[in-house]
Amino acid sequence: MPPFPGSVAPFAFETMDLSSPASASISKTIPASDAGDLVDLVRRDQSALARIYDRFGSAVYGLSRQVLKDDGLAQDVTQEIFLRLWNEPQRFDPERGSLRSFLLREAHSRSIERVRSEEARRQRESRSEFRDRPVPLDIEDDVLKSLTSDEVRNALSQLPEGERSAIVLAYYGGHSYREVASVLGAPEGTIKSRIRSGLLKLSSLLDDEGSEAKP
């Protein structure tokens, strides 16, 4: 297979012959849709950003909304993420995963930053008040009901309660493991271990069900 095989207008994305010695270090191929949009994005083609938004806007907004529990803040974070992608497309490193993964991680980390800065502000304003967000224990039921993936919900439901609570509160609740420990009344070391072991079990459960990450 030649290095640049075939010819399909306007762009064709091909993998190299992985059996060839010189390509032995190739670890993964960028999904064609990601690569095409990335190139167009660098060309400052707004329609590329629109396509990316069509594909991933719901995921970014949904996760931000889940963590922030606030539609307005979730919209702010979503806008910030897509504007940042527009202005700095080179921040996307394909070695770290697909564009979807990159945007989801951005959504999560930016939402967490907002949560924590909001909490800091509230604590400054009212030292006696720990927070006025919903009681975290209530979040777990709400989160599980709201998940759009039966597969993920089923996998979470198979975890021991302590592991499930720790993961849900940390990931969807935006809490540090120390906060989770405080909320659940468990030692911090126990929560660290529960998060790790729970995620490893989820990995097996989700892989066992033959699930593929969305492109």
Partner 1 sequence: MTPEDQTRELLGAYVLDAVDDVERRRVENLLAIDPSARDEVERLRRVADKLGDAAESAPPAQLWESIQSAIDTDSSAHKPSGSTEPTSIFSSKRYRSVNKPFLAAAAVLAVFVIGGAIFAGVRQDENVPSTIAAMTAMANDAASKPGSRTGFLTDPGQTMTVQVVADAQGHGFLMTDPLPALPEDETYQLWAANNGTMISLGMLGSNPEMSMVPIDPSVTELALTREPVSGSVAPTSNPMATGSLA
- Contact pick of 133, 139, 177, 183 for partner 1 (by CB under 8 A): 177
Interaction between residue 193 and partner 1 (CB under 8 A): yes
Residues in region 23-82 near partner 1 by CB under 8 A: 23, 25-30, 35, 38-40, 42-44, 46, 49-50, 53, 57-63, 65-66, 71, 74-75, 78-79, 82
Residue entry with tokens 């700095």: 88
Distance CA 180, CA 194 (A): 11
Q: How many CA atoms lie within 13 A of 70 on its CB side?
A: 13
Interaction between residue 146 and partner 1 (CB under 8 A): yes
Query: Under 8 Å CB-to-CB from 46, ≥6 apart: which residues?
Result: none
Q: Please identify, using beta-carbon distances, which residue of 27 and 128 lies nearer to partner 1.
A: 27
Residues in region 4-23 near partner 1 by CB under 8 A: 4-17, 20-23
Interaction between residue 192 and partner 1 (CB under 8 A): yes
Interaction between residue 167 and partner 1 (CB under 8 A): yes
Interaction between residue 200 and partner 1 (CB under 8 A): yes
Distance CA 197, CA 85 (A): 33
Structure tokens at 110: 């930016």
Query: Under 8 Å CB-to-CB from 51, ≥6 apart: which residues?
Result: 33, 37
- Please identify, among the stretches 97-105, 122-130, 133-141, the one whose residues bind partner 1 according to the rule CB under 8 A: 97-105
